[in-house]
Amino acid sequence: MRNLDRDDGTGIPEDKRSDIFARGARLDTGKPGTGLGLAIVRDVVEIYGGSVELGESEDLGGLLVRLILPRAA
C-alpha cells in the first residue's frame, strides 16, 4: 500500500535528504520545531516493516514523502 504526501515549498536538496531523519536535525531553522517528526515517522514505519522515501513533487515542486507499508496479512 502506498500513501503520498507532497508540498509546494522549496523542497530539500537531494544531498540533504538523508540528514533530516536524524533526531534533532532541522534544515529550516526559521520555523519552530524540534527536529523529531521525520525521525519518529521513519522509526514507526520501519517497526511495521515499511520504509520512507523522499523525493521531489513533480507537480508542486516541494518535497514528496512516500511511505511504503506491507499489506496486512
Reported pTM: 0.72
pLDDT digits (tens, 9 = 90+) for 35-44: 898 899 999 9
The larger pLDDT score, comparing residue 59 to residue 6, is at 59
Distance (Å, whole) CA 16 – CA 11: 10
Contact 26, 12 (CB under 8 A): no
Is the predicted pLDDT of residue 4 greater than 90, yes or no? no
Residue ranges of domains in the chain, CATH in brackets: 2-68 (3.30.565.10)
- The per-residue pLDDT of the chain, averaged, comes to 83
